């Protein structure tokens, strides 16, 4: 699944390619966005592209917005005019062609087009916690939400809960806790505010580096059974939380 770093990179890419352009809109595949029809964006100028956690928002003139969430397999590609697409047009929900570039969405968990005010009241956006990649990210607000939610919940689960902190996915959950040397199996109630702040700061730093480099760190992710790159202990993994997402950690140097 695309995590916040990939979504922010996509937002910047589409922004650089199309913001200020008047777009022509086509829907090559079978699926259609929810809400207004795709043709309602045809001929409008793209004014701004925004990411919020794992959500992407394309703001157009006339106060219209396209809201996209990529789920496990979706993606946005940016092409030059006439360039061959890397996925089949039958999988494309929407193509936005502007001056010298075209942004094409291939699938995702949902896409919706609507009036901006109404769309921004969508519960899927309203319930989001602070965006870990926002310049205004405030760990105190995330910690307050964690303390209010489920004190017996585990750190690894809390990092994935988009209503507590938005943008972290399965890779950065494990890598961030490893970087901060905290065991992701610990319950929130056993962690000090300072410890949670440290893991959020470490995760944010790793994600910001990935936004710039385009490469996600995989020091322990999917490396169960291998020696820890820090201390040499065998790395472990387990399915964590209701969704049984796999968490990786080092029992040697991540404090319990």
Part in contact with Zn ion (CB under 5 A); list of ranges 12-20, 46-54, 59-67, 225-233: 225-233
| Residue number with CB closer to Zn ion (10 or 220) | 220
Q: How far is the CB of 156 from Zn ion (least distance, A)?
A: 16
Cα(243)–Cα(57) distance, integer angstroms: 26
Does the footprint of Zn ion cover residue 231 (CB under 5 A)?
yes
- 3-state DSSP assignment of residue 125: helix
Give the residue with the Cβ less far from Zn ion, 144 or 224: 224
Residue 235: count other Cβ atoms within 10 Å of its Cβ: 23
Among 154, 228, 247, 249, binds Zn ion (CB under 5 A): 228
Q: Indicate the residue among 241 and 252 with the shorter CB distance to Zn ion.
A: 252
Region of residue 232 (phi > 0: left; psi between -120 and 50: alpha; otherwise: beta): left
Interface pick for Zn ion out of 64, 94, 119, 250 (rule CB under 5 A) = 250
For residue 112, list its beta bridge partners.
Answer: 34, 67
Task: Give the count of alpha carbons within 13 A of 165, CB side only.
Answer: 32
Among 16-24, 108-116, 196-204, 231-239, which window interacts with Zn ion (CB under 5 A)? 231-239
Q: Write down the least CB distance from residue 252 to Zn ion, Å.
A: 4
List Cα–Cα distances, 84 to 70, 88, 102, 104, in angstroms: 22, 10, 11, 12
Which is closer to Zn ion, CB of 36 or CB of 253? 253
Please identify, using beta-carbon distances, which residue of 209 and 231 lies nearer to Zn ion: 231
Residue with Cβ nearer Zn ion (121 or 234): 234
Total residues interacting with Zn ion, rule: CB under 5 A: 7
* Shortest reach from residue 250's CB to Zn ion, in Å: 3
- Scored b (16 or more CB within 10 A) or e, 178-210 reads bbbbbbbbbebeebeeebbbbbbbbbbebbeeb
Least separation in angstroms between CB 211 and Zn ion: 26
Closest distance to Zn ion from the beta carbon of 57 (Å): 39
Instruction: Please report whether residue 253 would count as binding Zn ion according to CB under 5 A.
Output: yes
Q: Coil, strand or helix: which one is 38? A: helix
Within 10 angstroms of residue 239's Cβ, the number of other Cβ atoms is 9
Binding status of residue 230 toward Zn ion by CB under 5 A: yes
Q: Tokens standing for 146?
A: 């964690």
With binding defined as CB under 5 A, does residue 103 bind Zn ion? no
By CB neighbour count within 10 A (0-12 exposed, 13-18 middle, 19+ buried), where does 123 fall?
A: exposed
Q: Which residues bind Zn ion (CB under 5 A)?
A: 228, 230-231, 233, 250, 252-253
């Amino acid at each position: 699944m695309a995590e916040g770093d990939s979504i922010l990179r996509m937002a910047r890419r589409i922004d650089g390619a199309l913001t200020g352009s008047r777009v022509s809109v086509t829907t090559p595949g079978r699926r259609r966005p929810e809400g207004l029809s795709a043709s309602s964006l045809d001929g409008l100028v793209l004014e701004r592209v925004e990411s919020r956690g794992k959500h992407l928002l394309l703001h157009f003139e006339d106060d219209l917005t396209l809201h996209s969430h990529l789920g496990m397999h979706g993606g946005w590609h940016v092409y030059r005019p006439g360039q061959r697409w890397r996925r089949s047009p039958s999988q494309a929900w929407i193509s936005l062609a502007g001056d010298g570039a075209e942004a094409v969405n291939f699938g995702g968990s949902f896409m919706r087009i609507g009036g901006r005010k109404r769309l921004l009241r969508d519960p899927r956006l309203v319930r989001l916690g602070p965006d870990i990649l926002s310049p205004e990210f405030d760990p105190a607000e995330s910690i307050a939400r964690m303390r209010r939610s489920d004190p017996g919940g585990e750190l690894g689960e809390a990092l994935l809960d988009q209503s507590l902190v938005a943008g972290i996915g399965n890779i950065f959950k494990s890598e961030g806790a490893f970087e901060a040397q905290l065991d992701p199996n610990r319950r929130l109630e056993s962690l000090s505010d300072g410890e949670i702040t440290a893991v959020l700061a470490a995760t944010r730093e790793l994600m910001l580096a990935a936004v710039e480099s385009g490469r996600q760190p995989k020091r322990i992710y999917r490396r169960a059974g291998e020696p820890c790159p820090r201390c040499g202990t065998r790395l472990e993994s387990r399915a964590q939380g209701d969704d049984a997402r796999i968490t990786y950690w080092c029992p040697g140097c991540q404090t319990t």
